[in-house]
Chain A
Amino acid sequence: MRGATATPRGLGWLLLPAVLVLALFLGAVALLFLHAFWTKDGFSLAYFKQILDRADYHEVFLRTVSIAAIVSIASALLAYPIAWLLWRLPKWRNLLLVVVLVPWLVSLVVRTYGWLVILGPKGFLNETLRWAGVIESPLPLIFNDLGVVIGLTHVLMPFSVIATLSVLLQIDNRLEEASESLGAGALETWRRVVLPLSLPGVFTGISITFLTSMGAIVTPILLGGIRQKMAGTQIYQEVVYNFNMSKASAWALCLLILSALGLVLLRTVEAALVPKADK
């Protein structure tokens, strides 16, 4: 079957964009390595040593991983009922999906500032609670780790909704009928059939939101505490204010390694939790 799968002659140039993107990506990673190990004093591991030695830097990485873990799990937990609802209401699915995605129409910075209005010391929530007499002084909802978690969860949850929904939509609804005809109620059917079959989507969502949170910059800058840095904000500061590309690169590589480790851990948990479903 000559030519059945071969690229038609003269269309090879269509690969060009893909090649360019790949080249730029690999080039960037190569530069990262180069900068990280090749400082202005020649080959050096000084910045890696610094990261290993300084307790305040440990704290930044620990905070980054913790916040990413909390955000990804919170997103998954909040997204599941939404995805389930979208799955259950096919007539409303498109409309509800728009509602879920509509925040993405607004720029990240604007959306994040929106949280200032709601969560700030003189924000809507605190003023309402004070007016209602529930609290006397404003709750510290913002400019700390809690603010970052809230902001990131809000920004990233739609990814979890979509990842979960896409797996739910693949579940054959005859499986639920089969479960019902074998005596299971709705909750039991969900626990024994729907949940195990939808877990891969939940884990995909967790992976996406975890990795994105690990590299977050804008949200921690706007909603986080001034001294409570995340790895992303630290790198941003090194690049934009200190022009220290080598230190930024060393940090970026460490972040990359931590992200990869997180992903491996996630896969391990998933493999243990989700029995392989055969198609």
Chain B
Amino acid sequence: MRRGTITVAGVGKDFGATTVLSDVDLVIEGGSFVTLLGPSGCGKTTLLRLIAGFLEASRGTIAIDGVPMQGVTPRRRPIGMVFQNLALFPHLDVFENVAYGLKIRGTPAAEITAKVARFLGLVGLAGFERRRIGQLSGGQKQRVALARSLALEPAILLLDEPLSALDLQLRRQLQVELKAIQRQLATTFVFVTHDQEEATLLSDTIVVMEGGRVRQVGSPGEIYRRPASPFVARFVGDINMLEGRIATVNGTSISVDLGQHRFDLPPSAIVGRPAAGAACQIACRPEAVTLAGDSANALALDGRIDALHRLGPTVKAMLDTPLGPLTALMMAGAPQAAELAEGKTVRVAVPSDTLTVFVST
């Protein structure tokens, strides 16, 4: 087991009569970059604070590198934390902020100076030692907070939506740097966010949470291609959701009715237990929908272009079809993209091998 592995087993948390977290089972691999992704109120910050030790679990256990953390105070855990509002010490300068933990630990002065210089260099703030916190920009404060928590070289770094206050451009830049720093140090990063793009960009593993539960754990690719529930499908990336019905079920193939269409899918494309006659939701990513005419293994239908968004490298077409509204996404350079126009009727193809069917329960 690599240093910095977190094992969460059967963890739940109640605040009074309200349950904010239930039955969380999760193994966070040492040295990986993991994001806890979910809408606000899904319990992701609560889970982070349980790992940090600022909250005590109502049920279940959390272990770090095999050591149970019950009753271990935050200061005794091998954990660093970057807070949402950063929580930099306003009465101390940049050097003193980064040196804070080292001084508490009684590190010799020469070593403190060297380490502060090293970590300020790592976050690109060499030479900022004597700046006051109030003189720094939002991005610089971010870097100081990161350097401060990394200076103690913790096995695990917890980050609670630290980038949410920054503008998009700076955010993208810091995301790239954060990822590079994580790779360089091989520290376990657990990052809380509600931004699925951020999660996709940063993570080795995404933990999708909703309503106090973990809904899916997987790599960004797995979660995008094979979402475990309609919620995950909608939350991670754009998706078309169509209402259909299971027609027949046999061992090797399941046929699904969608409007006038009937098509067969392998059991691997079905989420839930299919039963003949059961209602289902059929999910299809916009980039799988093509407007290049009929093709094999695809539902073919006519669609009217309601709206057309040309987004630079891509073109997004909002279609009105007999099955309901559909969104199609294609590269701006694709041959058919130039001919599209609002109000025009086109031939829409939905390849059946890209569909995921969620059986309603």
A179, A183, A197, A274: residue with the most chain B Cβ atoms closer than 10 Å: A183
Chain A residue numbers with a CB within 8 Å of B132 are 276, 278
Cβ-neighbour of B74 out of A172, A180, A275, A276 (below 8 A) = A180
Chain B stretch 44-88: residues in CB contact (< 8 A) with chain A: 52, 54, 73-75, 79-81, 83-85, 87-88
Count, chain A residues at interface, CB 8 A: 23
Stretch of A77-85, A101-109, A185-193 lying at the B interface: A185-193
Bound complex: CA of A277 vs CA of B74, how far in Å? 26
**Judging by beta carbons under 8 Å apart, are B83 and A182 in contact?**
no
Chain A residue numbers with a CB within 8 Å of B133 are 278
**Judging by beta carbons under 8 Å apart, are B75 and A185 in contact?**
yes
**Judging by beta carbons under 8 Å apart, are A181 and B91 in contact?**
no
**Judging by beta carbons under 8 Å apart, are B85 and A174 in contact?**
yes
**Judging by beta carbons under 8 Å apart, are A182 and B134 in contact?**
no
A184 at the interface (CB under 8 A from B): yes
Chain A stretch 192-206: residues in CB contact (< 8 A) with chain B: 192-193, 196-197
**Judging by beta carbons under 8 Å apart, are B104 and A177 in contact?**
no
Cβ-neighbour of A197 out of B88, B91, B148, B152 (below 8 A) = B91
A9 at the interface (CB under 8 A from B): no
Majority secondary structure of chain B interface residues (helix, strand, loop or mixed): mixed
**Judging by beta carbons under 8 Å apart, are A174 and B83 in contact?**
yes
Bound complex: CA of A32 vs CA of B259, how far in Å? 95
Bound complex: CA of A179 vs CA of B90, how far in Å? 12
| Minimum CB distance partner of A179 in chain B | B100
**Judging by beta carbons under 8 Å apart, are A183 and B75 in contact?**
yes
Bound complex: CA of A274 vs CA of B149, how far in Å? 25
Chain A residue numbers with a CB within 8 Å of B90 are 197, 277-279
Chain A residue numbers with a CB within 8 Å of B100 are 179, 182, 184, 192
B170 at the interface (CB under 8 A from A): no
| Minimum CB distance partner of B106 in chain A | A183
B325 at the interface (CB under 8 A from A): no
**Judging by beta carbons under 8 Å apart, are A172 and B152 in contact?**
no
A178 at the interface (CB under 8 A from B): yes
Bound complex: CA of A141 vs CA of B172, how far in Å? 70
A99 at the interface (CB under 8 A from B): no
A34 at the interface (CB under 8 A from B): no
Chain A residue numbers with a CB within 8 Å of B126 are none
* Given A178-B87, A192-B104, A277-B90, 16 further pairs, Cβ under 8 A: A172-B87, A174-B87, A177-B74, A178-B83, A180-B75, A181-B75, A181-B79, A181-B81, A182-B148, A184-B100, A184-B104, A188-B104, A192-B89, A192-B100, A274-B91, A275-B92
Residues of B within 8 A of A (CB): 52, 54, 73-75, 79-81, 83-85, 87-92, 100-101, 104-105, 132-135, 148-149, 152
Residues of A within 8 A of B (CB): 172, 174-175, 177-185, 188, 192-193, 196-197, 274-279
A-B contacts, 6 listed (Cβ < 8 Å): A178-B87, A178-B88, A181-B149, A185-B75, A197-B90, A276-B132
